[in-house]
Structure formats: C-alpha cells, structure tokens
Amino acid sequence: MHAASSHHWSGKLMLNEPMSRHTSWRVGGQADQLYIPSDLQDLQEFLQQVGDKQPIYFVGLGSNLLVRDGGLRATVVSMHNVLTDMHMEGDLVYVESGVTCGKLAKFCAKQSKQGAEFFAGIPGTLGGALAMNAGCYGRETWDAVDSVVTINRHGELNKRPASTFVASYRHISMPLPGEWFVGAWLKFEVGDAQLATQKIKDLLASRLATQPLNLPSAGSTFRNPAGDYAARLIEACGLKGYLIGGAQVSEKHANFIVNIGGASALDIELLIKHMHDTVLEKFGIALQQEVKVIGDYV
C-alpha cells in the first residue's frame, strides 16, 4: 500500500527508505514509506490520507530504536528537524515533539527555569522522551509535564492533561492506542540562568567522560534494575568489549552497545540477548530492555 496519489501534502515522501539513515545505530532495513512532514498541519493532512491498512511509526532521532534488517512493512513518520517550535506560554514552556532534549535544556536555562537541566543528558527528541518517560540523573520527563497534544492516525489533535497518563520508570501508559505526542506544556521552577547553564555544562562533560559518544549507539540498552545499575551487572560478567559481528559492548560504558563498523541489526539483537542471558545466569536478574526493537528479520 502507498499513500493516495491525489495528495495535498507538502512534506517529503520516500519509498523503500533505508532505516539505517534514521536510527542512531545506523542499521536497519527499508521502510515501505517514510514521510517527513513540513509542519503540523501538513502532518494532519498526510495522516488523513494514509488510511488504516499499515502500521505507523513515529521516529525522532531514532536513538532508542533497533529496526531489524528486513525493514518495516509500515509508514514511518520522521520528526527529525520537524515540529521544532519552543516558546513560553505564561509560566509554562511549550515544546513541540521534534525539539531535541539538549535544545530544550538550554532554552529553559536561558528563560531562568530550573529543573530542566537533566534533559541535556537525553540523546533524543522530546517526542521520544515523552513516549518512554526518558530520564537521567534522577529526573524523568513526566515529572515536568503539565499537558500534552497528541495526534491520532486520522490526523486529529487532542489536548490531554498529564493526569490522563500513568508514568512509571521508562514507560508511559497511553489512554488510547494509535496516538503520538506532537507537543507538550512543561512546568519548571524559576531559577538562576547561570547556575542552570553551568549544571548543563557539567552534565554534558560527565556524559562525554562516561559514554561512548564517538561511535553509533542507542543510549542505554537496558533499564536499571531497582537499587542497582545494568552497567555494573554487565561489566561484572566480564562483557565489556564483547563482540558479535560489528556490534560491541562498549569498553567505556557496559550498558551501551556500539556499532564499530558494519554491524547488522541482527548482530545487535543477538548481543542484547547474550548480555541479558549472561546477567540472568550469573546474578539471577532479568534485565529489562530499554531499546525498542521493531521490523522483520531478513
């Protein structure tokens, strides 16, 4: 199935698009079609014409996503460099879902808001952060949410208060399936711009020192189990540097898998399984995957 030919949208539609171009691991087979909307209204018009036959996936920076080598029989909506408006509305910060978390942190600091600094440590867009309740340094995305705007597969927008969602560790329950976040109103306390800016610099320096940012990765592979760290458990199993094909457990941070060159999605998926099974065997702890895996095997 392809989108109706009598189209009225102004974005960019690509057929048989390699998902390796749209994920931070730089792996993944082709999506049947991938759409880059020009703005929110254009996205609404596109979704109205896609119909109900195919699954739809929204992808931001693709930084928490493994697309299998066989690709996706689906329509992918890429939010990279799309929906990037961010402004103050009274005391709240309105942010569209395509804004990167790093830019959000810096904007809030400039507005003398405190409590948004942790967003500098999240390697994705706000849309992705909302969808998985991303967090770091003891704070989570939904701590800051006042309300959100969602879009459904028919292009209809809904404003929903944060209270209609149940947020838990790295998870958010959607009241209705088939809805995606397109924006949010976030609430932060008034703070000191200079202090907030310095905190962001410190967080970024700490990330650089502890994470393998020079190689394609997808951030944390597993969630931290209660009272422990996935990285500690994986490292204690002697898995740092362990290789399957072009996929390696990072020498710098054991909860990161890096593509050292030429990795396939299967290499990465097999490595995820090996890390999980090794930790389970040694410690009796079943690590929960943080990375989302979608698509078909070859």
C-alpha separations of 239 from 168, 170, 273 in Å: 29, 24, 12
Instruction: Spot the catalytic one: 63, 78, 147, 220.
Output: 220
Q: At what angle do helices 101-110 and 193-210 cross, to 10 degrees?
A: 150
Task: Evaluate whether residue 162 is within a structural domain.
Answer: yes
CB 256 within 8 A of CB 63: no
Q: Which of 78, 140, 170, 217 is catalytic?
A: 170
Give how many domains the chain has, as a whole number.
3
pLDDT value for 6: 54
User: What pLDDT is attached to residue 9?
Assistant: 84
Q: How far apart are the first and last CA of the chain?
A: 20
Same domain, 142 and 193: yes
In a domain, 266, yes or no: yes
pLDDT of residue 53: 82
pTM of this prediction?
Answer: 0.92
Q: How far apart are CA 198 and CA 13, in angstroms?
A: 41
144 phi, psi to nearest 5 deg: -105, -5
Number of CB atoms found within 10 A of residue 136's CB: 18
SS3 string, 252-277, reads: CCCCCEEECCCCCHHHHHHHHHHHHH
Query: What is the structure's pLDDT at 3?
Result: 45
Range of the domain at 90: 86-210
pLDDT digit string (tens) for the chain, length 298 residues: 444 445 678 999 999 999 999 999 999 999 999 999 999 999 999 999 987 888 999 999 999 999 999 999 999 999 988 999 999 999 999 999 999 999 999 999 999 999 999 999 998 999 999 999 999 888 999 999 999 999 999 999 999 999 999 999 889 998 888 899 999 999 999 999 999 999 999 999 999 999 998 999 999 999 999 999 999 999 999 999 999 999 999 999 999 999 999 999 999 999 999 999 999 999 999 999 999 999 999 9
Whole-number Å distance between alpha carbons of 97 and 166: 19
> Rounded distance, CA 89 to CA 260, Å?
44
Length of the chain: 298
Structural domain includes residue 202:
yes
- Which tokens is 68 given? 């299998």
Residue 1: predicted pLDDT? 41
The last residue of a domain, from among 78, 102, 135? 78
Residue ending a domain, choose from 52, 78, 104: 78
Domain-ending residue, one of 55, 78, 101: 78
Active site residue 269: no
The pair of structure tokens assigned to 57 is 């996936």
133 in the same domain as 178: yes
- Residue 147 CA to residue 92 CA, distance in Å, equals 10
Instruction: Determine whether 220 is an active site residue.
Output: yes
Instruction: Judge if 94 and 190 occupy the same domain.
Output: yes
Q: Shortest CA distance to 10 belongs to which of 42, 51, 47?
A: 42
Same-domain status, 130 and 17 = no
CATH of the domain at 287: 3.90.78.10
Active site residue 24: no
Residue 4 is assigned to a structural domain of this protein: no
Q: Rounded to 10 degrees, what is the CA torsion of 285, 259, 68, 242?
A: -40
pLDDT at residue 4, as a whole number: 44
Q: Please tell me the distance from the alpha carbon of residue 69 to that of residue 245, in angstroms, as a whole number.
A: 14
